C-alpha cells in the first residue's frame, strides 16, 4: 500500500472543513499530552515510535481501515518510518510533512469581513499554536496587528492584494510567541507601534501606541483606533477598526480571559484587568465583533474557521466576564493558573530585541501551546 | 563503569539514534553497558522513555559541546 505526505496546509483545511482524520501520534507521551493537532472530528492514538521498532502488527487493529490515517511526529522522520510500516502491513497511510514543527508554523488567512467602501479584514489563524494575526486593507493600504514571526506570509499576502503595508502594531509585548511586527516594518518602511509601558526595556526604535491614537487607511479613511486596556500586560492596548471590530489582543478571548502573570506581576495587574473587562469594555457598543490574538481550544473556532464573536454575546456567555465578586475574580486569575508558555521569558527577551537567536532556536522556543488565558 | 560497546549516532536525526541504539542493545548481554553519543536534542526525552519501557537503566547521561552521551545498562 502507499505512503503519502500530507502538508500542514492540508491538515488545516481538514480542521476548518470539519473533516474526519485518524491521527497516530508517535511522539513520546509527555509531548503528546502537552500539545497535539486539534480537530473537531479527529480521532487519536498515541504510541511512541520507539515502541514500534519491531513493527506495527500489535497495533494495526487499533487503526481504522475506513478513515484517512495520518502519522505525526516532532519533525517528520519517525512518522515516515511508521507510515512505511503501516503500508507494509497492508494499509494506506499519510505522514505529516515537517512534523509538529511545521504544524506549529502554519498560518491560514481567512477573511473575517468587509470594511466600508470595499475594504477587507483578514484573520491569519495559526492553528498549531492558537495565535491570531490581522491585516486590514483598504484602497491600496494595509495595517497589520499582532503579526507572528513568519513575515513572508504577510508581505506576500499584501503583494497579492496589491496593497502597501503602512502600519504595523503589536497590542502588547508578547510572551508566548515571537513577533514579526518590527521586522515587517523594517522590510516595508511601515511604522512599527508598541505600547510604551510594555517597551521600557526594548532596544529598538518604535512609535508609541497610546490611548486615542488613530490611523486611517486608504482614501475611504478606514479608522484603526487604539484603546488602552491593561491587565495581561501593563501596556496592553485594544483596537477598534471601522467601528465594527474590537481587536482585544490577549485581554479577552472567546471562551476565556487574559492572564496577568506572564511578566511576573500578577498581583499588581489584577485590578487593571478587572477595570478593562468590567468597566472600559462595558462602555463599548455591544455589536462590536471581538477578534482576539489567541484561541485556546478548537471549540472557539466558528464554522468558517474564524475566531470571532459579538461583544454582547461574550458579556452574556464568557465566564471571565461574569464574576461579580472582585475577590473571587482576583482568586480566579492569580490562583491555579495553567503552566506558563514554553520559554516565555526568553521569548520576551527576543521581542525586546535583547537577544537574536537563529531560526532553529526560535522554532524550539515556540513549540507547544500558547497558554495566555485563564478560564 | 565498564562500557561494553560504544555507538556513535552523532549527526543522525530522529528516529535513527533510537533505531541504532535498539540494534546495539539487542547485540549485547543483560547487565552490559552501552555508551551512545547523539547530537539530536529530541533524543533527551525519547531515550528516557524508551529505556523505561524496555526496563533498561540509564546509569548516566551528560552533555558536552552539543553531544549527548548516554550510558545504558541492558535489562
Which of A1-5, A53-57, A147-151, A341-345 is predicted least confidently? A341-345
Question: Which pLDDT value is given to residue B59?
Answer: 96
Q: Are A21 and A160 contained in the same domain?
A: no
CATH number at residue A232: 3.60.15.10
Q: How many CB atoms lie within 10 A of CB A41?
A: 12
* β-strand partners of A144: A135, A168
Q: Are A174 and A33 contained in the same domain?
A: no
Q: A186 with A219: CB under 8 angstroms? A: no
Q: Are A29 and A115 contained in the same domain?
A: no
Q: Mutation test of the interface with chain B: which of A46, A49, A53, choosing the one with the most B Cβ atoms within 10 A? A: A53
Rounded to the nearest angstrom, the minimum Cα separation between B23 and chain A is 10
Q: Are A43 and A189 contained in the same domain?
A: no
Domain boundaries along the sequence of chain B: 5-73
SS3 category, B66: coil
pLDDT in tens, A31-43: 999 899 999 999 9
- The pLDDT of A89-104, averaged and rounded, is 95
pLDDT in tens, B3-59: 999 999 999 999 999 999 999 999 999 999 999 999 998 888 899 999 998 999 999
Q: B71 with B35: CB under 8 angstroms? A: yes
Q: A67 falls in which pLDDT band (50, 70, 90)? A: very high
- The pLDDT of A73-101, averaged and rounded, is 96
**Alpha helices for chain A (secondary structure H):** 8-16, 29-34, 77-88, 99-105, 151-161, 181-188, 266-275, 311-317, 326-334, 344-351, 359-365
Residues of B within 8 A of A77 (CB-CB) are 13-16
Question: What residues 61-80 of chain A have any CB closer than 8 A to a CB of chain B?
Answer: 73-75, 77-78
Residues of B within 8 A of A50 (CB-CB) are 15, 18, 22, 46, 49-50, 53
Q: Is residue A373 part of a domain?
A: no
Q: Are A142 and A203 contained in the same domain?
A: yes
Q: Are A233 and A164 contained in the same domain?
A: yes
Query: Which among A29, A30, A78 has the least Cβ separation from residue B15?
Result: A78
Q: Is residue A344 part of a domain?
A: yes
Q: Are A38 and A129 contained in the same domain?
A: no
- The pLDDT of A178-197, averaged and rounded, is 97
Cell of A54: 519491531
Q: A60 with A86: CB under 8 angstroms? A: yes
Which of the listed residues A102, A129, A158 is the one where a domain comes to its end?
A: A102
Give burial (CB, 10 Å; 0-12/13-18/19+) of B65. exposed
Domain count, chain A: 2
Q: Are A80 and A214 contained in the same domain?
A: no
pTM: 0.88
Q: Is residue A212 part of a domain?
A: yes
Q: What is the mean pLDDT of chain A?
A: 93
CATH number at residue A38: 3.40.250.10
The tally of CA atoms less than 13 A away on the side-chain side of residue B27 is 11
Structural domain for A331, as ranges: 107-366
User: Could you give the CA distance from residue A41 to residue A296 in angstroms, rounded to a whole number?
Assistant: 17
Q: Are A22 and A54 contained in the same domain?
A: yes
Q: Given this structure, which CATH class describes domain B5-73?
A: alpha beta
Taking CA–CA distances from A50, the nearest residue in chain B reads: B50
Amino acid at each position: 500500500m502507499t505512503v503519502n505526505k500530507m502538508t500542514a496546509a492540508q491538515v488545516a483545511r481538514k480542521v476548518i472543513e470539519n473533516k474526519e482524520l485518524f491521527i497516530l501520534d508517535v511522539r513520546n507521551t509527555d509531548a503528546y499530552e502537552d500539545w497535539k493537532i486539534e480537530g473537531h472530528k479527529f480521532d487519536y492514538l498515541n504510541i511512541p515510535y520507539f515502541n514500534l521498532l519491531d513493527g506495527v502488527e500489535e497495533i494495526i487493529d487499533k487503526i481504522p481501515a475506513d478513515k484517512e490515517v495520518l502519522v505525526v511526529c516532532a519533525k517528520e522522520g519517525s512518522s515516515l518510518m511508521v507510515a512505511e510500516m503501516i503500508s507494509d502491513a497492508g494499509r494506506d497511510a499519510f505522514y505529516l510533512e515537517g512534523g509538529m514543527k511545521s504544524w506549529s508554523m502554519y498560518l491560514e488567512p481567512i477573511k473575517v469581513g468587509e470594511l466600508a467602501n470595499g475594504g477587507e479584514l483578514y484573520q491569519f489563524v495559526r492553528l498549531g499554536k492558537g495565535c491570531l494575526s490581522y491585516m486590514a486593507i483598504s484602497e491600496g493600504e494595509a495595517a497589520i496587528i499582532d503579526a507572528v514571526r513568519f513575515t513572508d506570509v504577510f508581505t506576500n499576502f499584501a503583494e497579492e492584494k496589491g496593497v502597501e503595508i503602512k502600519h504595523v502594531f503589536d497590542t502588547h509585548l508578547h510572551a508566548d510567541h515571537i513577533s514579526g511586527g518590527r521586522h515587517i516594518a523594517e522590510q516595508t518602511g511601515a511604522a512599527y507601534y508598541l505600547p510604551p509601558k510594555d517597551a521600557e526595556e526594548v532596544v529598538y526604535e518604535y512609535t508609541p501606541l497610546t490611548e486615542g491614537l488613530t490611523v486611517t487607511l486608504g482614501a475611504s479613511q478606514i479608522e484603526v483606533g487604539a484603546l488602552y486596556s491593561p491587565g495581561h500586560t501593563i501596556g496592553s492596548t485594544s483596537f477598534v477598526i471601522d467601528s465594527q471590530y474590537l481587536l482585544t489582543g490577549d485581554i479577552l478571548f472567546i471562551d476565556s480571559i487574559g492572564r496577568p502573570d506572564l511578566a511576573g506581576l500578577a498581583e499588581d495587574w489584577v485590578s487593571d484587568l478587572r477595570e478593562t473587562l468590567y468597566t472600559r469594555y462595558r462602555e463599548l457598543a455591544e455589536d462590536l465583533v471581538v477578534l482576539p490574538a489567541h484561541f485556546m481550544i478548537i471549540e472557539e473556532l466558528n464554522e468558517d474557521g474564524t475566531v470571532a464573536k459579538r461583544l454582547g454575546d461574550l458579556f452574556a456567555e464568557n465566564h471571565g466576564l461574569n464574576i461579580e465578586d472582585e475577590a473571587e475574580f482576583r482568586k480566579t486569575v492569580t490562583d491555579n493558573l495553567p503552566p506558563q508558555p514554553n520559554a516565555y521569558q526568553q521569548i520576551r527577551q527576543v521581542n525586546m530585541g535583547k537577544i537574536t537567536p537563529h531560526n532553529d532556536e526560535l522554532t524550539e522556543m515556540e513549540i507547544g501551546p500558547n497558554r495566555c488565558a485563564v478560564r | 563503569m565498564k562500557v561494553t560497546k560504544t555507538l556513535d549516532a552523532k549527526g543522525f536525526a530522529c528516529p535513527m539514534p533510537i533505531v541504532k541504539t535498539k540494534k546495539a542493545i539487542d547485540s549485547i548481554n543483560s547487565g552490559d553497558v552501552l555508551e551512545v553519543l547523539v547530537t539530536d536534542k529530541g533524543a533527551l526525552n525519547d531515550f528516557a522513555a524508551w529505556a523505561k519501557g524496555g526496563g533498561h537503566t540509564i546509569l548516566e547521561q551528560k552533555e558536552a559541546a552539543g553531544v549527548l552521551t548516554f550510558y545504558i545498562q541492558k535489562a
